[in-house]
Amino acid sequence: MCQAQGYAAEAQALIQQAEDSLERSRDPTLIHELEIASARLALARGETPAAEWVRGYDLPPDSKAPDAALLRGKSAYLTMALIWLVRGEQDKTEHLLARLSPALRSAGHTGSVIEALSIQALACQSTGDTEQALDLLKKALTLAEPEGYTRTFADLGEPMRHLLQQAAVRDIAPASSARLLTAFGSQEELGTRPMAAPRPDQRPARVRPAPQLIEALNEQEQRILCLVSAGLSNSEVAEELFLWVNTVKWYLQEIYGKLGVHNRVEALARASELGLL
């Protein structure tokens, strides 16, 4: 959520918090989930993750892996497909998704089917097969329209926007194409360019630090501080900003650290002294 809102530093900080927690528990399942999340975050920043863990998920051409095993590892397989796509290994991407997609469809995992079709469309586009790419995209958009899926497409970045623009020109799923292209426009306003290298002028703006401020508050922290100063509770702040309560609590701890305080009362007094309210 932070990455999608343009707060890349906060997104990475949350990943680091998760890593620190897992240093104590060393739960293999959670470690694996964190590896996938870290890879997705790297892709969203325009990086190509090393993702050594993908070796354990390789599917040879004659793979007889049962559908149940494919479904258990669907997050890893879809992430692998994206990694191979950005590495230019389209053959691997297409082979993997050709094996995975039927299992997803049979199990009724619609969201994952939409993602698989979208990634397959980008793989075709990258090899110059525009007609096949648009056909796959049309299938994805048809499945996505009833529930209004957006992030599945938006997270695929500039290549997906380019493909959607071609779909709009050809009048393919015009309502869905227009809605998603509007969503891409909103992302630009947030300074977000998933699966593409960020430009310096698109990074989230930060508030200029006051002379005695330990570290500048970013825009989201400033919003939260203002809402707290207005007397809103954590749950009310969460509702106002469409965040989880735990996310608001995490932001408050970041604010306290930057202000050099320990609680709300001290934070508001300090912020007032520094002219932040």
For the chain, domains (ranges, CATH) are 8-202 (1.25.40.10), 219-273 (1.10.10.10)
- Cross-strand partners of 218: 206
Structure tokens at 125: 């586009």
| Residue in 6, 9, 2, 1 with CA at minimum distance from that of residue 189 | 6
Q: Please tell me what DSSP assigns to residue 58.
A: -
pLDDT at 123: 93
Residue 75's alpha-carbon distances to 71, 81, 109, 198, 209, in angstroms, are 8, 10, 12, 25, 40
Half-sphere exposure of 14 (CA within 13 A, CB side): 17
Structure tokens at 253: 């701890």
Interhelix angle for 90-107 vs 74-86, to 10°? 150
Number of residues that make up the chain: 277
Q: How far apart are CA 98 and CA 44, in angstroms?
A: 24
Do the Cβ atoms of 203 and 234 come closer than 8 Å?
Answer: no
Neighbours of 190 (CB within 10 A): 15
193 — alpha (psi -120 to 50), left (phi > 0) or beta? beta
Strands of 93-251, DSSP E: none
Q: How far apart are CA 225 and CA 129, in angstroms?
A: 50
CA angle 193, 39, 127 (to 5 degrees): 65
Query: Any residues with CB less than 8 A from the CB of 203 and at least 6 apart, and which?
Result: 8, 191
Q: How far apart are CA 123 and CA 89, in angstroms?
A: 9
pLDDT at 116: 96
Global pTM? 0.65
First to last CA, the chain: 26
Residue 200's alpha-carbon distances to 7, 96, 191, 203, in angstroms, are 14, 35, 9, 6
Each residue's pLDDT, cut to its tens digit, for the chain (277 residues) gives 888 777 888 888 888 888 888 877 778 888 888 888 888 888 888 887 776 766 666 665 555 666 787 788 889 889 999 988 888 888 888 888 988 899 899 999 999 999 999 999 999 998 889 999 999 999 999 999 988 889 899 889 889 999 999 999 999 998 899 889 888 775 555 455 555 433 333 333 333 333 356 678 888 888 899 898 888 888 888 888 888 888 888 889 889 888 888 888 888 888 888 888 7
Q: How far apart are CA 3 and CA 25, in angstroms?
A: 26
